[in-house]
């Protein structure tokens, strides 16, 4: 395959057209889906560009190129889930390496890191990364890897990626940013100094809630090669069909993000003005503690938010019974709007103590705002809130 988008084109063009009309066999405009697990050798000791599907696959490689370009990295490795993307990086660390992760990170990430720490494969410190001085004292303990989630899930705390990366670099620690909540349409951590970006492509990059997959993008070409090699060694590779669906979803990333953010802003304003709501966590609101940092660091505020109901758990129960348009489900980043209750869903495994430390209360609800008409989103939310 030969990509026809010229070097240096705008990211919107990469998303819409990377690999379009690059099919040498028939001139297919939409890039074909190659499902074959194996490839014929041209002759004795003569492999072609591809030999075996774990090592490489044209459909997966096309998506990896597009995502690497969007994140401005040297290359991307596509994994079978977002968790596998994190584990691809963590699994390559020498035994006993110190990993710093946010105390309010995604529940699945915390579960993975704690499991690796219990097996003594890594040492783990859960820290408040918004406190840079405190963070530096942890860094000084010879951290090998710093995991950043910004904005964080579900409280939408924003970390100063450039400041944190500079401090990490000074002690030779690598920085990986989970960019799942914003996508490269709204934030480019590598340009802020991070070493790797990772994604649950399950979310905004695919955008249609029909794939579980992940990606790691490396700033450095040698690191990308090493990660690609490690994905082949461990077999942590994304399926061709999932890659094809994700490339199809990626085509509309920029317009989806733009409209979903617009809807999210209107929803955040509605929530902020509602008497049943005590707090709204959305960096796009001027009153959010990280609003200025988010405005500087991000190209937009995204479509994720959380809010606290004054009535606690019983209000949550009434809300989820009456809400319309928003579906009660885990996950995020799709074209449809979802509502989740972190304490009993996404962050259940974290345990009550860790949730309390991170500030995830039982009255907290998380929204992923989709592409429905804003009038229907407002009406659906009002239906839930009127019962609280």
Ligand X SMILES: *Cc1c(COP(=O)(O)O)cnc(C)c1O
Contact criterion met (CB below 8 Å) for 282 and 305: yes
Identity of the residue, 200 or 298, whose beta carbon is nearer to ligand X in the bound complex: 200
Q: Which of 61, 178, 195, 290 is catalytic?
A: 178
Residues 6+ apart with CB under 8 A from 262: 374
Query: Closest approach of Cβ 314 to ligand X, in Å?
Result: 28
Q: Which phi and psi angles does 373 have, rounded to 5°?
A: -65, 140
Identity of the residue, 39 or 196, whose beta carbon is nearer to ligand X in the bound complex: 196
Identity of the residue, 81 or 165, whose beta carbon is nearer to ligand X in the bound complex: 81
Find residue 17's DSSP bridge partners: none
Contact criterion met (CB below 8 Å) for 267 and 381: yes
CA 298 – CA 288 distance, rounded (Å): 14
Query: Closest approach of Cβ 362 to ligand X, in Å?
Result: 21
Give the count of beta carbons closer than 10 Å to the beta carbon of residue 369: 29
Q: Which phi and psi angles does 304 have, rounded to 5°?
A: -105, 145
Query: Closest approach of Cβ 222 to ligand X, in Å?
Result: 25
Identity of the residue, 87 or 160, whose beta carbon is nearer to ligand X in the bound complex: 87
Q: What's the count of helices (H) and strands (E) in the chain, helices before strands? A: 13, 12
Q: Which of 188, 203, 256, 318 is catalytic?
A: 203
Residues forming the site for ligand X (CB under 6 A): 81-83, 106, 108-109, 149, 153, 178, 180-181, 200, 202-203, 212, 214
Q: Which of 39, 106, 196, 282 is catalytic?
A: 106
Query: Closest approach of Cβ 383 to ligand X, in Å?
Result: 27
* Catalytic residue list contains 210: no
277-281 and 304-309 strand pairing: antiparallel
* Catalytic residue list contains 69: no
Query: Closest approach of Cβ 109 to ligand X, in Å?
Result: 6
Residues 6+ apart with CB under 8 A from 31: 1, 19, 20, 22, 23, 59, 62, 244, 247
Identity of the residue, 19 or 333, whose beta carbon is nearer to ligand X in the bound complex: 333
Query: Closest approach of Cβ 366 to ligand X, in Å?
Result: 10
DSSP run (H or E) holding 77: strand 75-79
Contact criterion met (CB below 8 Å) for 13 and 30: no
Q: Which of 54, 248, 299, 357 is catalytic?
A: 54
Q: What is the C-alpha R_g of the chain?
A: 21
CA 331 – CA 202 distance, rounded (Å): 8
Identity of the residue, 153 or 187, whose beta carbon is nearer to ligand X in the bound complex: 153
Active site residues: 54, 106, 178, 203
């Amino acid at each position: 395959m030969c990509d026809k988008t010229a070097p240096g084109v705008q990211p919107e063009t990469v998303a819409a057209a990377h690999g379009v009309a690059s099919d040498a066999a028939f001139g297919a405009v939409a890039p074909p889906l190659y499902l074959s697990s194996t490839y014929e050798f041209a002759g004795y000791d003569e492999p072609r560009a591809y030999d075996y599907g774990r090592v490489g696959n044209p459909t997966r490689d096309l998506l990896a190129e597009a995502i690497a370009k969007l994140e401005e990295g040297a290359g991307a490795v596509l994994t079978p889930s977002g968790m596998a993307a994190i584990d691809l990086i963590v699994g390559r660390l020498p035994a006993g390496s110190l990993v710093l992760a946010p105390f309010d990170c995604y529940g699945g990430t915390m579960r993975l890191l704690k499991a690796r720490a219990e097996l003594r494969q890594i040492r783990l410190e859960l820290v408040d990364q918004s406190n840079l001085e405190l963070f530096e004292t942890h860094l000084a303990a010879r951290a090998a890897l710093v995991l950043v989630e910004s904005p964080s899930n579900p409280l939408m705390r924003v970390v100063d990626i450039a400041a944190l990366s500079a401090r990490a670099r000074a002690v030779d620690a690598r920085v990986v940013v989970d960019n799942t909540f914003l996508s490269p349409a709204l934030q480019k951590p590598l340009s802020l100094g991070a070493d790797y970006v990772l994604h649950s492509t399950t979310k905004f990059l695919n955008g249609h809630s029909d794939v579980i997959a992940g990606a790691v993008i490396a700033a450095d070409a040698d690191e990308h090669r090493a990660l690609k090699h490690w994905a082949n060694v461990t077999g942590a590779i994304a399926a061709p069909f999932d890659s094809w669906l994700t490339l199809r979803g990626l085509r509309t990333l920029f317009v989806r993000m733009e409209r979903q953010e617009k809807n999210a802003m209107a929803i955040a304003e509605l929530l902020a003005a509602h008497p049943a709501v005590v707090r709204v966590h959305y960096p796009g609101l001027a009153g959010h503690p990280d609003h200025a940092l988010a405005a500087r660091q991000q190209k937009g505020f995204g479509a994720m938010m959380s809010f606290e109901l004054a009535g606690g758990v019983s209000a949550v129960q009434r809300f989820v019974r009456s809400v319309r348009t928003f579906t009660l489900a885990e996950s995020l980043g799709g074209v449809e709007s979802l509502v989740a209750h972190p304490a009993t869903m996404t962050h259940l495994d974290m345990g009550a103590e860790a949730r309390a430390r991170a500030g995830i209360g039982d009255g907290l609800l998380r929204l992923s705002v989709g592409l429905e008409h804003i009038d229907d989103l407002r009406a659906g939310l009002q239906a839930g809130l009127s019962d609280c």
